[in-house]
Amino acid sequence: MAKDRQDIPLGTPLQRVTPLIITFCIIAIVGPWLLSAYWLNTFTTVACLTLVSATVALLYGQLGMVSLTQFALAGVGGWVCLRVIHGWGVPFEIGLIAGACAAGLFGLLVGLPALRMRGLYLALLTLLVAAAFQVVVNVIGFPDGGEGWTGKVVNGQRAMIDRPLAASSDVAYFRYAVIWMAAGLIWIEWQKVSRLGRAWALIRKSEAAAISVGVSVVKYKATAFAVSGALAGLAGGLIAGLNGQLDNTGFHTSQSILLYALVVVGGAYHWVGAVIAALLIRALPALLNDHGVDGNLANVFFGFALLVSLIQGRTGIAGKLADFYKFVRMSRIVEGSVSWGLIAILLGVIAYALSWTSFAGAFFISLIALLFRMAIPGVLWMLLGFFGKRTQDHAEALEAKLSLRLVKIMKAMGLRPDHRLFKRTLNWLFIGIFVAWVAWGVFGLAYLSALAIIWGALGLKVLWEVSLYTYVLPWRSQIDARYPKPFANYR
């Protein structure tokens, strides 16, 4: 029997949200330096959608309830926010909070009949609500300073709302949106390890068991619906503030379904999943559009990604990342981040100095090359697996045969034999040719420069390993002793 490892405490709620606070502080500060105006606007939307995704994940991950109304609830929040600001000329924050309250109330109303429903029926009900919202909004439109309770201008100039005074520029508004989004995510994360989250855990395990210990299932489910409605509404208000107005086409029912699917892909049990879902739904199509590819192509990828995450289990990309973080020693993560970062910065500076491409472009390509260096063998192995175990075995045998022959030749030539040389060469060739081809096609970088950056990155990593290992190893064991991993906590 394996020896029991000591379990490590999960930590206080404050300790649990610290990584989240640090991440979003860095994003809020560094983001505007790296992003162009187009990308800054895209990422502000991503921040808002992260909050909406987090509410979908909250209902699905914490209570197992599928809600397809969250996007429509963002629309409700945006509508009320616009209406209040146009109607009474109140500051932006008041409109935002009014929108959140209205959406929370609406979410609660949707949730009430849903308290006795689960699974498919709940999904259908919420889908119908989303569709109904779309119909209503198509008829009355979003307020833009007109008369009447709908506040819609009939023939004339649409009025815009002002952004908050402290955040009128695009950069400031990006930070403003990130702060609201982070506050929402921190609140959710905090609750997960507090009384509310524990009650949710009891309910999702079994409603009967929860009832038998005196948990009011109605109260806790209703709280979840109201809070997730309010946070989605807040996000809707933030989107309204970004553009100054909202468009009828922005809150299509299909977006609600897509958002739910992407939350499953991103991972509903970890806050990173909400960020990934928002990036996929808005940043990926924007990236494709930016390079002259139709953004709708992303939907094909989404379908494939959903299929993979359903086969792979329900934890999504965020769950896989969390597993990776749990199983890989701390020292390797630290060393990897430092070496990858230094290599990417160095190549970024060189490429910029030689005016091949921008600093960010070379930085990004180096990181991709280093990531592929680790990931490609595993991915290929998985792809071979689709053809069956025998194909995998044949490929392995063939590789072993060729490697042994190569080792014999190296020995005959008086060199120190390397059994993995053949595999590594293939890996380097593939990464170089493939990534450089994508960089050439998508980023418009000269093929040879891209190849130089990619192989430069891989070469520098090998150089790092060969030259610095004797110094790095003791340092690494110190880190592992200081931050052990709670292996026994694994599921």
Q: Which residues bind other proteins (CB under 8 A)?
A: 7-10, 193, 195, 198-199, 201-202, 204-206, 208-209, 211-217, 269, 486, 488-491
What does the alpha-carbon distance between residue 145 and residue 157 come to, in Å, rounded to a whole number?
Answer: 9
The Cα 193–Cα 18 span in angstroms is 13
Sequence-separated (6 or more) residues with CB below 8 Å from residue 271: 20, 54, 57, 185, 188, 189, 318
Of the two residues 193 and 350, which places its CB atom closer to other proteins in the complex?
193
Instruction: Give all strands (DSSP E) within 167-207, no chain letters.
Output: none
| CB environment 45-61: b (16+ within 10 A), e (fewer) | bbbbbbbbbbbbbbbbb
Which of residues 249 and 489 has its CB atom nearest to other proteins in the complex? Answer: 489
Spatial separation of the C-alpha atoms in residues 337 and 37, rounded to whole Å = 28
* Least separation in angstroms between CB 332 and other proteins: 23
| Sign of torsion over alpha carbons 329, 334, 336, 337 | positive
For residue 224, the minimal CB distance to other proteins (Å) is 16
Supply the minimum distance, in Å, between the C-beta of residue 486 and other proteins.
8
Q: Closer to other proteins at the Cβ: 15 or 212?
A: 212
Amino acid identity of residue 382, one-letter, is M
Q: Indicate the residue among 145 and 319 with the shorter CB distance to other proteins.
A: 319
- Distance between CA 404 and CA 418 in Å, rounded? 9
Nearer to other proteins, 191 or 245 (CB): 191
Name the residue nearer to other proteins (CB basis): 337 or 489: 489
Smallest distance from other proteins to CB 3, Å: 14
Look up tokens 């409603």; give the residue. Answer: 207
Q: Which amino acid is it at 330?
A: M
SS3 (DSSP) at 160: coil
Closest C-alpha among 307, 179, 305 to residue 235: 179
Token duo for residue 131: 């569709």
In the numeric block, the tokens 């610290």 are attached to 18
Which residue do the tokens 């959608």 mark? 49
Place of tokens 């502080």: 25
> What is the closest distance, in whole angstroms, from the C-beta atom of residue 270 to other proteins in the complex?
11
Residue-by-residue DSSP string for 235-290: HHHHHHHHHSS--GGGG-HHHHHHHHHHHHHH-SSSHHHHHHHHIIIIIHHHHHHH
Q: How far is the CB of 112 from other proteins (least distance, A)?
A: 18
Minimum Å gap between C-beta 446 and other proteins is 49
> Minimal distance in Å, beta carbon 490 to other proteins?
6
Q: How far is the CB of 8 from other proteins (least distance, A)?
A: 6
| CB of 491 vs other proteins, minimal distance in Å | 4
Is the Cβ of residue 1 or residue 412 nearer to other proteins in the bound state?
1
141: left (phi over 0), alpha (psi -120 to 50) or beta: left
| Nearest CB to other proteins, comparing residues 209 and 463 | 209
Using the minimum distance from each CB to other proteins, give the nearer residue, 416 or 491.
Answer: 491
Output the smallest distance, CB 61 to other proteins, in A: 9
Q: Which is nearer to other proteins, 291 or 326 (CB)?
A: 326
Between 22 and 211, CB nearer to other proteins: 211
Complete DSSP assignment for 17-80: HHHHHHHHHHHHHHHHHH--HHHHHHHHHHHHHHHHHHHHHIIIIIH----S-HHHHHHHHHHH
Tokens of residue 55, six digits? 């509410």
